[in-house]
Amino acid sequence: KHEQLSEPTLQTWKKHIVPEKNDPASIESDIVHHTITTLCRGVYNLDKLAMYQATAHSVRDRLLEDWNLTQEALHRENPKRCYYMSMEFLIGRALDNALHCLHVKKNYNQSVDNLGFSLEDLLCEEKDAALGNGGLGRLAACYMDSAATQDYPTWGYGLRYQYGIFKQMIKDGYQTEMPDYWLNFDNPWEFPRADIRYEVRFHGYVATKINEKGETRMTWEGGDKVQAMAYDVPIPGFDTKGCGNIRLWSSKPLNTFDFDSFNAGDYERSVAEQTAAQNLTSVLYPNDNHLVGKELRLKQEYFFVSASLQDIIHRFKRAKCPWKDFPDKVAVQMNDTHPTLAVPELQRILVDIEGLEWDDAWDIVTRTFAFTNHTVLPEALECWSVPMMEKILPRHMQIIYDINLFFLQKVEKVFVGDRDLLKRISIIEEGSPQQVRMAFLAVVGSHTVNGVAALHSDLIRKHLFNDFIKYYGPDKFINITNGITPRRWLYQANPDLRDLITTTLGSEDWATKLDLLKGLKKFADDTKFQSQWAAVKYKNKERLAFWIKANMGITVNPDALFDIQVKRIHEYKRQYMNILSVIYRYQSLKKMSAEDISQQVPRVVIFGGKAAPGYYIAKLVIKLINSAAQVINNDKSIQDMLKVVFIPDYNVSLAEIIVPASDISQHISTAGTEASGTSNMKFVLNGGLILGTVDGANIEIGEQIGAENIFMFGVLSDEVEDIRHNQKYHGLFMDPSLQVVIDSIQAGQFGDPSIFGPLINTLTYGGDYYLISVDFKSYLQKHTEVDETYRDKKSWVKKSIMCTAGMGFFSSDRAVCEYADKIWKLKPFKVEA
C-alpha cells in the first residue's frame, strides 16, 4: 500500500515520523500523556500498577520506532529470513530489558522519580510472560534476544497461551497449582494484529480433484475450521536499531456462524463450538521432558504450524519468486519435535494446493527445515497414535505414510534385505495402535539435525539417530552447544557485577562480545579486585536473604555458603539426592559436640522449581524438602549451621534474583540424561561455582573455566547402561550412608513416614533407575571438598573470578551465529536510523 501513495502525501507522512526524545523531561511528558490518554487516569487515582503501565507504554513507543524501521527495511530488501518455530517462549519481564537495550534506564529512573515513584518498584509490577516450562522455552527467548542484537532477520513463531505455566503455591509442604492468568491487565508488550488471520482446519476427509493443469490431486475437505489471529511481541536488540519479533497465534472462532444448527433450534451447540475454537490456545501444557499425548495438544501443534506456514508463504509470495527459491528465502528451525507437523504440512501445501510434483516439493521441504533435538529421555520423545492423527489430520497421515514409504525404499536400496534396520528406522512404529515417531519424521524432513551440547550430540549420534547416520552419513548431525544471553543474565540481573566488570575492562563491550570477559583473568590474584568481587557477591546474597525473609519469614545468614538448585523438579535431575544429602549433613551435625558444630562451614541450601501437576513422585520430593526444612530450620542445637529453603513459584524474574547469589549451584543429573542445562551457564557467568555430574554442558563449562574451578563427581554416561543392567540382574547396591538417611525418614524423623513410602521405593523396589545410591558416596565427598575450599576465602574468590572470565563461549550470541552460519545460511541485516 505504501508504494501507492503520491510523493507529496509521502512527504506529509515522513514529516510526522519524528524520533522520540530521550531526555528526562520528554520521558516525563510521555508517561503523563499515557496515564491520561491510554489509561484514562490522572493524579487523583494513580497507583504503582498504573504507573508501570504508563511507563511501559512510553517505552514501547520507543521500541516501535525500531520495530517499524526494521520491518519496513526487511520488507523492502527481502533478504533470506529465519523462522524459529517453538511451542514455548519463556520471556519473563520485558520493561527492564527494553530500558537497557535502548540505553534509557538512567533517564527513566530520573523521570519516574520526578513523577513521585521509584522505577525499581514499577519493574516489580510487571507479570512474567511465562509461556514455557523451563530450559527449552527459556533458550528460545535467549536466542530471540541474540538474533535481534546481532541483526539476524529472525522471527519467532509460537502460541499466545492465555494461561502460561501455572503458579506454584506451597501448602502444608505440598505443591498446589493456581492458574497464571497473565493477561488480566492490558499487556503493553504485544500488538494485536486483527488484520492478520488464517483459517486452520481439523478433521474432515480427503477427496480427489483435477487441478488447472488437468492433474489429479488430493484435497482435504470438510471438518471444522478455527481462526488464528496474530499478536506481535517486539524483541529489542541491545545497542542496535534493529528490533526482532515473535509472532504468537491466538485461536478465535470463525466469523461465520453455524446457521444450520442455529435454525434447527440448537443455538447452544453452535455457541459451544465457537467456544471450543477459542479454547485451543488457552493453556500451555505444563510438562517438561514428558509427553502427555492429549488430542488438544496435537491440535495446538498443528494450529501453530499451519498458521505460521500460511504467514511465511504469504510473505514469500509477495516477492513473486519461483517455488524452487523458497529455501533461499526461508529457513525454518524446529525447536524440538513440537513443530514437526510443519514438514507434512508444507509438503501438502506444495503438492495439493500449489500443484508441484511430489519430488520437487520434497526437495523444497528438506532444504527448508532443520531440527534441534533437546532430550534423550524416552518419555519425552513425541509419538502420536496413528488413529488419532487419522481422525484429526487425515491428509497429513497419508502424507506421512508416503514420506515413510519413499524413505524406506531408499534405505532398502542401500541396505538390501536388512529388515531389522527398516523396522528400527521407520517413522511408523508398529504396535497397536501404530505410532508416528515425530523425531524420526523431523530427521527425515530436515537437512540438518543438532544436539545442544557436545555430549548430548554424541549420544544422539550413537543411539537415538544411529541408524540414520548409517544411511545419511555423519554430516547431517551436528552439535551446537546452548548459550544464554549475557544481557538479561548478567548486565540486567547483576548490576553491581556489571559495573565492576565494566570499570575493570574499561568498556561495556563485553555485553555483546562476551569473550572479552577473559580480560578479567589477569585480575584474579589482585587483592583489591578480589575484595571488590567478593563484596558484590555478598551484596547479592544479602538481596536474596532479604527476599527470603520478606516472603517466607526465614532468616538466612549471607555469610553462610549459599548452595542452590533451581530447575524443574524431575527424577533425572535428582533433587531427591540433594535433599537426602542435606539430611545426611544434618545427621552429621547432630552427632557433633557444640564446639565442633561451631567450627563447621554454615550452609544455606536453596531449592526451587515446579513439578508437573501429574508427576506424583516429583511432588513428593517437594514435600520431603519442605518436611526436612521444617525440622532442620527449627533445630536450635545445630546453631544455624544448616538452613533449607524451598522458594515457591520459581520463574524467570525470581531467577534474576537467585542466580547472582550462589556460591555453589547444583547440576547433578544422572550422567547422559540432561541434554545441556542452561542454568549452569547462568550461575557460572555470575561467579558461582558449580557442583555437577559429568553431564550436558557441565563438561564444556569445566573445559572452558578449568577443571580446578568446578566440582565434578559421579559415574560417566557410558557406564550407566552396564550399572543398570547389573542392578537389575545381580541386585541393588545400597550405599551405607544413604541407608542411614532412609532409615531416619522411615523412622518418622521428618513427619509421617507413610507419605514418603512411594518415594523411597524408587530407590529400592524401583531399581534406583537414576543411580542415586551409586553416586551418593562421591557426591558426599565433593560436598566435603566444597566446604574445605570455601574456608579459604581468597582461593574461593579467585575461582569465582575465573568462572566468570571463562564463560565467553556460552553466550547465546555465539550459539545463534553458529546456527546462522552452519544451518540457516543467514547474514546479518543491519538497519540504520
Please list the active-site residues: 374, 567-568, 573, 678, 682
Whose CA is closest to 572, among 752, 375, 408, 396? 375
Rounded to a whole number of angstroms, the minimum distance from the CB of residue 622 to ligand GL4 is 19
φ, ψ of residue 181 to 5 degrees: the values are -90, 80
Burial class (CB in 10 A: 0-12, 13-18, 19+), 410: exposed
Nearer residue to ligand GL4 within complex by CB, 698 or 804: 698
Rounded to a whole number of angstroms, the minimum distance from the CB of residue 292 to ligand GL4 is 13
- 676 touching ligand GL4, by CB under 6 A: yes
Nearer residue to ligand GL4 within complex by CB, 568 or 643: 568
Rounded to whole angstroms, how far apart are CA atoms 417 and 423? 11
Q: What angle do CA 514, 152, 65 make, to 5 degrees?
A: 100
Nearer residue to ligand GL4 within complex by CB, 364 or 675: 675
Rounded to a whole number of angstroms, the minimum distance from the CB of residue 574 to ligand GL4 is 13
First to last CA, the chain: 22
How many residues interact with ligand GL4 (rule CB under 6 A)? Answer: 17
Nearer residue to ligand GL4 within complex by CB, 247 or 374: 374
Q: Are the CB atoms for 352 and 217 separated by under 8 Å?
A: yes
Nearer residue to ligand GL4 within complex by CB, 404 or 698: 698
**Residue number, nearest CB to ligand GL4:** 135
Nearer residue to ligand GL4 within complex by CB, 670 or 676: 676
Nearer residue to ligand GL4 within complex by CB, 404 or 565: 565
Rounded to a whole number of angstroms, the minimum distance from the CB of residue 687 to ligand GL4 is 21
Q: From edge to edge, which strands make up the β-sheet containing 428-429?
A: 383-385, 435-437, 428-429
- 287 touching ligand GL4, by CB under 6 A: no
Rounded to a whole number of angstroms, the minimum distance from the CB of residue 234 to ligand GL4 is 24
Among 58, 146, 149, 289, binds ligand GL4 (CB under 6 A): 289
DSSP letter assigned to residue 178:
E
Rounded to a whole number of angstroms, the minimum distance from the CB of residue 351 to ligand GL4 is 32
Rounded to a whole number of angstroms, the minimum distance from the CB of residue 612 to ligand GL4 is 12
Among 678, 709, 717, 762, binds ligand GL4 (CB under 6 A): 678
| Window 430-459: residues binding ligand GL4 (CB under 6 A) | 452
| Window 625-654: residues binding ligand GL4 (CB under 6 A) | none
| Window 731-790: residues binding ligand GL4 (CB under 6 A) | none
379-398 mask for ligand GL4 (x: CB under 6 A)? Answer: -x------------------
User: DSSP assignment of 628-697, as one string?
Assistant: HHHHHHT-GGGTTSEEEEEESS--HHHHHHHGGG-SEEEE-PPTT--S--SHHHHHHHTT-EEEEES-TT
Question: In sequence order, what are the beta bridge partners of 90?
Answer: 130
Could you tell me the three cell numbers for 28? 516525563
| Window 179-198: residues binding ligand GL4 (CB under 6 A) | none
- Per-residue CA distances from 98 to 103, 150, 709 (Å): 8, 16, 34
Could you tell me the three cell numbers for 279? 479454547
Nearer residue to ligand GL4 within complex by CB, 277 or 452: 452
Beta strands in 369-429, from DSSP E residues, in sequence order: 369-372, 383-385, 428-429
Nearer residue to ligand GL4 within complex by CB, 375 or 800: 375
Among 375, 578, 653, 737, binds ligand GL4 (CB under 6 A): 375
The residue type of 182 is W
Stretch that binds ligand GL4, among 421-429, 581-589, 676-684, 770-778 (CB under 6 A): 676-684
DSSP letter assigned to residue 792:
S
Rounded to a whole number of angstroms, the minimum distance from the CB of residue 9 to ligand GL4 is 49
| Window 102-161: residues binding ligand GL4 (CB under 6 A) | 134-136, 139
Nearer residue to ligand GL4 within complex by CB, 70 or 481: 481
Stretch that binds ligand GL4, among 236-244, 419-427, 668-676, 792-800 (CB under 6 A): 668-676
Cβ neighbours of residue 281 closer than 8 Å, sequence gap 6 or more: 159, 160, 161, 162, 249, 250, 251, 300, 303
Paired sense of beta strands 154-159 and 243-252, if any: parallel
Sequence length of the chain is: 833
- 677 touching ligand GL4, by CB under 6 A: yes
Q: Are the CB atoms for 449 and 474 separated by under 8 Å?
A: no
Stretch that binds ligand GL4, among 23-31, 40-48, 374-382, 458-466 (CB under 6 A): 374-382
Rounded to whole angstroms, how far apart are CA atoms 644 and 750? 13
- 374 touching ligand GL4, by CB under 6 A: yes
Nearer residue to ligand GL4 within complex by CB, 448 or 676: 676
Cα-only R_g, the chain: 28
- 812 touching ligand GL4, by CB under 6 A: no
Rounded to a whole number of angstroms, the minimum distance from the CB of residue 139 to ligand GL4 is 4
The residue type of 817 is C
Rounded to a whole number of angstroms, the minimum distance from the CB of residue 117 to ligand GL4 is 37
Which residue in the block uniquely carries the three cell numbers 554442558? 697
Nearer residue to ligand GL4 within complex by CB, 411 or 699: 699
Rounded to a whole number of angstroms, the minimum distance from the CB of residue 133 to ligand GL4 is 7
684-723 mask for ligand GL4 (x: CB under 6 A)? Answer: ------------x---------------------------
Beta strands in 547-630, from DSSP E residues, in sequence order: 561-566, 603-608
Rounded to a whole number of angstroms, the minimum distance from the CB of residue 677 to ligand GL4 is 5
Q: What SS3 state is found at 236?
A: strand
Rounded to a whole number of angstroms, the minimum distance from the CB of residue 285 to ligand GL4 is 12
DSSP letter assigned to residue 137:
H
Nearer residue to ligand GL4 within complex by CB, 675 or 745: 675
Rounded to whole angstroms, how far apart are CA atoms 489 and 487? 6
- Per-residue CA distances from 396 to 79, 203, 280, 392, 601 (Å): 31, 11, 20, 9, 61
| Window 463-482: residues binding ligand GL4 (CB under 6 A) | 482
* CB neighbour burial string for 772-811, b if at least 16 within 10 angstroms, e if fewer: bbbbbeebbebbeebbebbeeeeebbbbbbbbbbbbbbbb
User: DSSP assignment of 456-507, as one string?
Assistant: HHHHHHHTTTHHHHHHH-GGGEEE----B-HIIIIIIT-HHHHHHHHHHHSS
Binding stretches for ligand GL4 (CB under 6 A): 134-136, 139, 288-289, 374-375, 380, 452, 482, 674-678, 696
